[in-house]
Every structure is written in structure tokens, then in C-alpha cells.
Structure 1
């Protein structure tokens, strides 16, 4: 398995949480929360910039599935977001992969950890997207270690 920075994205309707690993892909830390910019894709452009600046090898995008593993109304939105992210990475001539990864219960887990650490509801609201991205990234790193390969579904850029 190759070392290198991994990013994780938790896509929401209003905000996007971003987390990153160290260069050895061992430790996940929160990076920032971005406002969704559905009209001009400013949030995606910022993720591309961060991927370039950090030399990211791979970006995991959380895929919201139901508890039974079925698609939800948000599933296609995450797929579309990941496809646009991959398109912009390709356009920017970055060889950064994009993988969709199951994110079931990551926001719930992040909220529980924040509550256990004594963060108020207001503090949680401000940081929950980043914390969920950290959960997605930790989950991916655990799966990567256990399986010996990058987890998730490849997002392929099509020039259609």
C-alpha cells in the first residue's frame, strides 16, 4: 500500500466537512468546513486546491446509505458531487483518485464523541461536518489496513 495524504469529504446540503491524513496516511485530523456552493462549485474548487497543496493521493467521499445498505435520497447527490470533484481534479491535471465510501452512522458517531468530550450543541454544529469527515477517513484507514487495499468504489471521470 502506498503512503500519501488522503482526504475525506462529508457532503451535506449546506456544508462540506473536510479531513486529511498525515503523509504516511496514519492519522486523520479535521481541516475545515466549507459552505456548499452549488452554483459555482467554490467548495469543490477549494478541495482541489487543498488536494494540490497537500499532494493528496486519494479523496474519500462519504456515500450516505440507509442502515440496510440501500440508496437514500442523498446517495445520488454524493455520487454527483464525487463525479464533479473527479472532473475538476482531472481538469487541474491532478492524479488524485476519488473513492466513494460507506458513511453510515459517521455523523451519529461524531456527534456522540463530541458530546462525550463536553462540547455544547452550538460547538457541535460548527464542527460536526469536520468530525464526520474524520470518522469517514478513520473508517477508510481501518478498512485499508484490514483489507490491504484502498476501500470504496472508484469514481471514474467520463468526458461525456
Structure 2
């Protein structure tokens, strides 16, 4: 699957907040977009962002252990990815390994001098930027979309 031009979104699905980043239409640079509260209506907000930005692809961070295995949090993210894919179909959702994305984001924010509550308020967006930028770089290296495609089952009606 070769990647077509267009905006891509990167999502870091946390337990309390969902960080969202977007790319430019050429898929070169990821920038922070928004933090969505993890609550009823979060999928609606993410779907609205996909529509508002005319996103062509969504990369969702999949938490893995350092050995590459998947624990309970990965299972929850897979279920969330399935729900999102059904909600925004036909826009594809792809799962990308997010190992160390939050650690990398925290380090970058500390280096910028952000501390405490100010850092916590934006770390989810920064982690989404790390996830998306990594996927964009893999796209450029391979010519194909990064990660694992999530099958979009039809939503229950």
C-alpha cells in the first residue's frame, strides 16, 4: 500500500487523556494538535478532528513492553483502535509501536524547560507527535504506510 498525499493524524491513547498530532499534507512534519479527555464522546471528538483536518490516515500508538510483547494496556488500545476504525471508516487506522514515545516526549519537554503541571498538560500531545513523526519517517523510508492496519468492522446500528 503506497501512501497518498494528505494529512495524517497521530494519536497517543492514554488512560486519562488522548494526545493528538497532525502532519502537513505532504507528510513531512508532525505538530501537536489537541488533547482530548478520555471520556464519553472521545471517539466523536477524534472523528471530528479527522473530518476537520481531512485526514487520510490515522496512526495510533500501541503500547508494547521493551521485549516487544503486549500486555493488558495493548489489549485496551486494540479495542479502542477497532472502535475508532469503525467510527471513521473509510479512513484507515494503523497501529504503530509506541515504545518510549512518552519517555521521549517527556525528555523533549524537560529540555524546553517545561516543568510539572505545564509538562503534564502537553505530554500526551508531544507523545502523539513522536508516534506520528516516526510513522512519517517510516513512510518516507519504505514508500508504504507504517504499522499494522486495523480492520474496520461496521459499527453496530
* Conserved? CA contact 2:10–2:128, under 8 Å: yes
* Conserved? CA contact 2:18–2:37, under 8 Å: yes
Poorly superposed stretches of 4+, deviation over 4 Å: none
CA displacement 1:22-53 (0-9 Å, x = unmatched):
1111111101111111xx3x111111111111
1:62 equivalent to 2:22? Answer: no
Counterpart of 1:83 in structure 2 is 82
> Structure 1 residue 82: deviation in Å?
0.6
**SS at the partner of 1:96?**
coil
> Structure 1 residue 158: deviation in Å?
2.1
In the superposition, the TM-score normalised over structure 2's length comes to 0.94
Long gaps (5+) in structure 2:
none
Counterpart of 2:135 in structure 1 is 140
For these two proteins, the number of residue pairs brought into alignment is 153
Counterpart of 2:124 in structure 1 is 129
Mapped partners of 2:58, 2:99: distance in 1: 18
Aligned residues: CA RMSD: 1.1
Counterpart of 1:11 in structure 2 is 13
Long gaps (5+) in structure 1:
none
Mapped partners of 2:150, 2:10: distance in 1: 14
In the superposition, the TM-score normalised over structure 1's length comes to 0.92
Counterpart of 2:113 in structure 1 is 118
